[in-house]
Structure 1
Amino acid sequence: MPISAPERSLLEVRGLEAGYGKIAVLHGVELGIGAGEVVALLGPNGAGKTTLLRALSGLLPVTAGSVTFDGQALTNASPRDAARAGMVHVIEGHRVFTQISVADNLELAGYDLPRGERAARIEEALAFFPEIAAKRRDRGGALSGGQQQMLAVAQGLVRRPKLLMLDEPSAGLSPVLLDRVLGVVRELCAKGTSVLLVEQLIEKTLAVSHRVYAMAQGRIVLAADAKEEDLPHRLERAYFGEDVPTALHA
């Protein structure tokens, strides 16, 4: 069962709007995440989940609304500033550098850190994934798809995030490797790191989450406790406009 959610707020999103050029995608999105909390972000393809993560991490301009992170305004912060504040976004599709080694991929993730601290953080990140620690001298392109996904998560961990945003980490992973990644989510939570988890595999996602938000057509259509017994049915109704959101911000 998920660990009980903490009380201290880490991320507050209010009235967020964003899109691509003249195409509006997000419409007044509101959500909150507590410190040390795992929050699932669910929804059908095209609901706006990836767009929301891109807007939060500075990869996409915010046209209205606000983002407050750990007490500071981060609306329209640059990706570098967002990462330095502790908000780390692992992009869908295991984006790694295929022509350089696993170790060099991780070195790049901590490029702005003092050498000694960077080395310590790399070992810390690799400790979560023995599969890629054993291949640290191999090129990124020599890894399997699942191992590249692990490397992408490890790159995020080098930043020691306060909030780790994972966009569909199950992509390209076998069930066994996905369970390994979700096990890391549990470990991070136990150590006080918050996680925003975008996934299509609802049952596995809810098993590691405290709360869940559901999106449809660029809006939050449901906010609920992940332990609710009727949640799968509520999610289905919410996707088709038959449910009413419940305010359960951290």
Structure 2
Amino acid sequence: MPISVPETLLEVSGIEAGYGKIAVLHGIDMRIAPGEVVSLLGPNGAGKTTLLRAIAGLLPWTAGSVRFDGRDMRDAGPRESARAGLVHVIEGHRVFTQISVTDNLLLAAYDLPRRERAARIEEVLETFPEIAAKRHDKGGALSGGQQQMLAVAQGLIRRPRLLMLDEPSAGLSPVLVDRVLAVVSDLRAAGTAVLLVEQLIEKALAVSDRVYAMAQGRIVLEAKANEADLPHRLERAYFGQDVPTALHA
């Protein structure tokens, strides 16, 4: 039986999705509670990014359901999802390189009341002083780590209830990885839920409450992040030697 979650913010039930005739997701079940950090781990090609795209409304699913805070999200696109508090930060430091940091954040806040935009910008820049000092610089002048911080800041400006981060450590130095993942811990402390896709298993587990592992478009393991010998169990699950549906404390 899956590990119980006391209250559900996100509920994914039996999701199937893919690209054209290529099926990628095969009956995914997942639950995330308010304020909980959940890591989604797995080898390349497991379907992790596809799952985030489906949850965010970027990719239609062919079966199953997604409910966010009790709302059926079937017909919700990415804009509607973000307005509901479900925000997806796409992999790869997706920022506008020809405009300033401030203008990048203004674009992320485009549909908020004008009087709130400046306050929201200052709020997220307090989280990332590294980019606050470069607020007038173009996005393309930032380092890779700073661009990742800006991408996360663009998501935070929505004050999400659930922030989905797709490999925020990709291409970053170890110091910057720690800096970006420290924000995940800060978000949890502030009551924001996070769904984290990450290849650095030990660092992901260090900031997580629970973990799901995927392989070949299926959930092959669910566990609490502090379970003993979990990295070894994850490796076995990835390669099909041990495929439990859940682990218990």
- TM-score, length-normalised on structure 1? 0.95
In structure 1, runs of 5+ residues without a counterpart are none
Matching residue's letter, 2:216: Q
CA distance in 1, matches of 2:227, 2:164: 23
CA distance in 1, matches of 2:111, 2:75: 21
CA offset at residue 247 of structure 1? 7.1
Number of residue pairs the alignment of both structures matches: 244
Partner of 1:108: 107
1:243 equivalenced with 2:243 (yes/no): yes
Partner of 1:227: 226
Matching residue's letter, 2:243: D
Question: SS of the counterpart of 1:62?
Answer: coil
Partner of 1:200: 199
CA distance in 1, matches of 2:61, 2:243: 27
Matching residue's letter, 1:245: T
CA offset at residue 91 of structure 1? 0.3
Whether contact under 8 Å (2:237, 2:244) holds in the other structure is: yes
Matching residue's letter, 1:221: V
CA RMSD of aligned residues (A): 1.3
CA distance in 2, matches of 1:74, 1:157: 21
Mean Cα deviation higher: 238-247 or 169-178: 238-247
1:73 equivalenced with 2:67 (yes/no): no
Partner of 2:185: 186
CA offset at residue 44 of structure 1? 0.1
Whether contact under 8 Å (1:7, 1:35) holds in the other structure is: no
Partner of 2:211: 212
Matching residue's letter, 1:161: P
Matching residue's letter, 1:121: R
Map Cα deviations across residues 179-219 of structure 1 (whole Å, 9 max, x no partner).
11111111111111000000000000000000000000000
Partner of 1:122: 121
Whether contact under 8 Å (1:6, 1:35) holds in the other structure is: no
Map Cα deviations across residues 136-193 of structure 1 (whole Å, 9 max, x no partner).
0000001011110110000000000000000000012111111111111111111110
Whether contact under 8 Å (1:234, 1:243) holds in the other structure is: no
CA distance in 2, matches of 1:124, 1:6: 30
Mean Cα deviation higher: 34-43 or 169-178: 169-178
CA offset at residue 134 of structure 1? 0.3
Question: SS of the counterpart of 1:32?
Answer: strand
CA distance in 1, matches of 2:109, 2:196: 23
Whether contact under 8 Å (1:145, 1:172) holds in the other structure is: yes
Partner of 2:172: 173
Whether contact under 8 Å (1:62, 1:76) holds in the other structure is: no
CA offset at residue 7 of structure 1? 2.6
Question: SS of the counterpart of 1:138?
Answer: coil
CA offset at residue 76 of structure 1? 4.1
Partner of 1:142: 141
CA distance in 1, matches of 2:218, 2:199: 17
Matching residue's letter, 2:138: R
Matching residue's letter, 1:71: G
1:44 equivalenced with 2:46 (yes/no): no
CA offset at residue 6 of structure 1? 7.3
In structure 2, runs of 5+ residues without a counterpart are none
CA distance in 2, matches of 1:158, 1:141: 20
- 1:49–1:115: structure 2 CA closer, same or farther, 3 Å change rule? same
Whether contact under 8 Å (1:56, 1:75) holds in the other structure is: no
Question: SS of the counterpart of 2:212?
Answer: strand
CA distance in 1, matches of 2:114, 2:17: 37
CA distance in 1, matches of 2:176, 2:5: 28
Partner of 2:61: 62
CA distance in 2, matches of 1:231, 1:135: 40
